[in-house]
Amino acid sequence: MINLAQLRAQLEHSFAPLACECSVDGDHSLTVKLYHSVSGQVDLVISGLKLNALRTPESVAALIDELRYELESNSLRSSRDTDLA
C-alpha cells in the first residue's frame, strides 16, 4: 500500500496546478480533495475510497483516471449551469 504522502504527491503531480489533501476517516476510508492552493476553491472532493485497495501502482493509476473523469464531469456540469443562467 502507498502511504498518504506519496499518494498526495502523485495526485498533485497528476492534477497540477491543483493542490491535494488526503485524509483517512475512522472507517479506514480515504477522502481526497483537489483544490486551488491560492484561492482555496475546491474542485473535487471524493470520500469513501477504499484505502486497502491502493496497493499497486496500477490501482493508484486507476484512481487517478477516476478522479480525472470526476473532475472533468464537474467542470462540464459547472459550465453547463453557467450557460443556463
Question: What does the pLDDT read at residue 3?
Answer: 84
Spatial contact of 47 and 16, defined as CB atoms under 8 Å apart: no
Structure confidence at residue 41 (pLDDT):
93
pLDDT per residue, tens digit, the chain (85 aa), is 578 888 888 998 999 999 999 999 888 899 999 999 899 999 999 999 998 888 889 999 999 999 999 999 887 666 555 454 4
